[in-house]
A and B are shown apart, each in its own frame.
Chain A
Amino acid sequence: MEHAHTLQLYGTAGVRYNVEAMTRSDVQLMLDVKAGDEASFNLLLQKYRTPLVNFLYRMVRNTATAEDLAQEVFLRVYRARKQYSPSAKFTTWLFRIATNLALNSLRDNRYRQMDVSIDAPVEEDATPLQLPARELRIDEKMIERDRSEFIRRAIAALPEKQRVAVLLHKYEEMDYGEIAKILECSESALKSLLFRAYETLRVQLAPLVSQPVQHRAGEGRPS
């Protein structure tokens, strides 16, 4: 996880900042923010804005909403700085806030859709992407959308908890203990959750899994 963030940081921000961010732990940075150091907050902002926006975008599938939610996450972190105590990893706290905000946003949006039309999909969680005639549907989708969009849709169609688990495991490379804390479940339950999620994705993305991958990276590991 640290390595991935380092690469992103060098692509988006100044080198001096990145080195400084790497040499001080997140907890130390947050403690400095608590002590009134605004520059440390900026370091955390630079380090986590891209992972947060991407996590939220994969959750809500709307860039504007994802950015608004990411802003809200950082604002809540800032507001809670005086009460901060390093009882858990900073990322656990950060992504727990983000997860709660994303889930609330999805639920609010769902209620709005219900107001607009009674035909709108109500229980996204209850049914993981229905594909009655899988190959025909996938062929149609592949014509309409590119591979990335198809993958994003498959992830978005996962039940909420499975989606969060996959995003944190696959893209944020969090360990099981950290993800379990965010989802408030046991590690054993998380492993079952992840298995079911990847099994669903394996079925939904079968045409892509069976053909050569275009930009394969980190084969054998989540990234």
Chain B
Amino acid sequence: MKKCEEVSKQLIAYLDRRANSAERHEVEEHLAACSVCHERAEDFRKLWGVLDEVPLVEPSLGFDSRIRARIAEEPRRGWLGWLVPQPRLAFAMTLLLALSVWMANLPREGSAAGTEQQDFEAIKDLGVLENYDVLSKFDALSEVPVDAAPADQQAQPVNPAVDQQPATEE
């Protein structure tokens, strides 16, 4: 025969008639031999009757109308809703769009004054500018008309533009 503690797990299912036949048999066998558990089982039956005495509480008259009003306030999906199914996604897309517009309105970096200044900054430290010979040759070449320049002067390898002059002048 099962002990009281073991039967306690089956007792509720026995009393509410949800126990299977084997469990029912075990509990009945125990209850027939144990007066304490038998009394407890009887008390549980009475207790369930006592719990039934508690009257039901009816929802207030405005319950349905309140919930319908709250549901009516819920956001509905319009035609845009199919394009933007999630509010978070819609927010992210709006943010991205605003960011794009803001970046498009930023001042352009390619303005004339800005370019000259950047070019100067880029070349001012070049070592070649400190070489007087090279600089002087550059100046001379730029002042001489291309047609009148002798062939031996055009052969300077410093200026690639000069290297590409057509050979017809020879």
Contacts and interface: CB of A to CB of B under 8 A. Distances in A.
A binds B: yes
Interface of A: 8, 12, 41-42, 45-46, 49-50, 53-54, 57-58, 63, 66-67, 70-71, 74-75, 78-79, 147-148, 151-152, 155, 169-171, 175-176, 188, 191-192, 194-195, 198-199, 201-202, 205, 208-210, 213-223
Contacts of B137: none
Contacts of A8: 56
Given A49-B59, A175-B18, A214-B53, 10 more contacts: A42-B68, A152-B54, A155-B51, A169-B16, A191-B9, A195-B8, A198-B44, A209-B46, A215-B53, A219-B45
Contact of A218 (B9, B48, B57, B66): B48
Contacts of B71: 41, 75, 78
Contacts of A151: 50-51, 53-54
B40 A217 contact: no
A102 to B, nearest CB: 14
B55 to A, nearest CB: 6
Contacts of A194: 12
B49 interface: yes
Given A176-B18, A191-B12, A198-B12, A50 B47 contact: no
6 contacts: A45-B64, A58-B54, A67-B60, A195-B9, A198-B47, A202-B47
Contacts of A198: 12, 44, 47
Contacts of B53: 147-148, 151, 213-215
B124 interface: no
A219 B48 contact: yes
B40 A199 contact: yes
Contact of B40 (A155, A202, A205): A202
B15 A205 contact: no
Contact of A79 (B52, B60, B64, B74): B74
B43 A202 contact: yes
B59 A70 contact: yes
Nearest to B51: A170
Nearest to B55: A148
Nearest to A147: B53
A175 B11 CA distance: 15
B143 interface: no
Interface in B70-86: 70-71, 74
A221 B52 CA distance: 11
B67 A75 contact: yes
A192 B8 contact: yes
Contacts of A78: 71, 74
Interface string B111-134: 000000000000000000000000
A201 B51 CA distance: 9
B63 interface: yes
Contacts of B12: 169, 191, 194-195, 198
Contacts of A54: 56-57
Nearest to A167: B51
A202 B48 contact: no
Nearest to A198: B44
Contact of A216 (B17, B40, B52): B52
A129 B109 CA distance: 77
B43 A209 contact: yes
Given A151-B51, A152-B54, A176 B46 contact: no
A49 B64 contact: yes
A223 to B, nearest CB: 7
A194 B51 CA distance: 14
